[in-house]
Structure formats: structure tokens, C-alpha cells
Amino acid sequence: MFLPEKMKTYELTVFDTALGHCGIVWSERGVAGVQLPEATAALTRQRLSRRFPAAADAVPPPEIELAIDAIRALLRGERPDLSGVAIDLESKAPFERSVYEIARTIPPGTTLTYGDIAKRLGIARDAREVGRALGDNPIPIIVPCHRVVAADGRMHGFSGPGGVKTKLKLLEIEGYERIPGPSLFPSF
């Protein structure tokens, strides 16, 4: 695994959304972490502090404020374009960064499968490795891992708070409509 620069400075802020309190961490390179909605600001800050222990509370610079506004808009059901948000994935391996780059191309309200991403990578990696990379995604929403589903369309494997329920909620907000039909697991 690639480690961040020794003296990299991280800053963070917590902000309200339609679904609860989110948080964002950034460096001079861009967004390094996003915390999905939690019930309280304290819980959001606590989760972010575990992932970024040296991050200091700060007032977001304009480019981070734009990212926050876009996250708020998405969680209100709007379709902002987050593809231009600068991100800092320096600590991630090249394979993970490639997976995240493809995931960022998935439009709101649509999905790709883990296998689709593996095929787009054009390398001998299977869907499970794509799933592992997305399970370690430090910047959900900006890297929309919730838009990646199993080959059969089932929703599973979401590592964010609330698990699959959060994944389904995010997709519902974006207007995703599952293909109707019988299922052994109707809630998935």
C-alpha cells in the first residue's frame, strides 16, 4: 500500500445534509475523505478522526465548499456533477485509483456491476478485487461506490454506515429504478 507524504496536512469539517451530518477531509491535493451521513455531528467527527487522526477542524476553502454544496444537493435529490471535484488518492494503490476513476463516470440514477468495472479496466482482475477496492473507498459519494451492484443486480457489500440500506437510499434519492421482477431477496 502507498503511504501519504510524511508531513501531509489534512483538514476537516462537518456539515448538515438532508440525511444527517456528513464530513469531509481535504489536503492541498483535494478531497481525501468523506463520511456518509450520521445522526450527530459528534459521531461524524469521531469516525473521520479515526481515519484521519491528525486532521484539524478548518473552514473549507472555496473548492471544498463547492464539493460540500454538491454533496448536499445530491442528498436532496438533485443531480450535481461531482466529476470535477479534485481528490487526493495518493495513499491508494494504482489498481484502486483505476477502479475509483471508472466509478466516478457512473451517472446518478444508474449502475454498473463489479464485473463491468473489471472489464473496463482491461486487466486480469476479477469482480471481487473491484469489490474490495470499492469497499475501501475513502471518498464515497464523490467516488459513487453505491452505484456499483452485483452481476444479478442485487445490492450487497456496501461498507458505509447503514450498509445496504444506505446504498439503496442513495440510489433511491438519485432516481434509480430497479428492474422489476421476482426475487428471493425482495429487499435487496
Is 145 an active-site residue? yes
32 touches 5 (CB < 8 A) = no
Helices (H) and strands (E) in the chain, counts: 6, 6
| Cell reading at 42 | 459528534
Q: Which of 31, 36, 145, 148 is catalytic?
A: 145
- Pair 138, 151: CB distance under 8 Å: no
Using the 8-state DSSP alphabet, how is residue 143 labeled? B
Non-local (6+) Cβ contacts of 69 within 8 A are 80
Find the helix or strand (DSSP H, E) in which 64 lies.
helix 62-75
Active site (catalytic) residues: 145
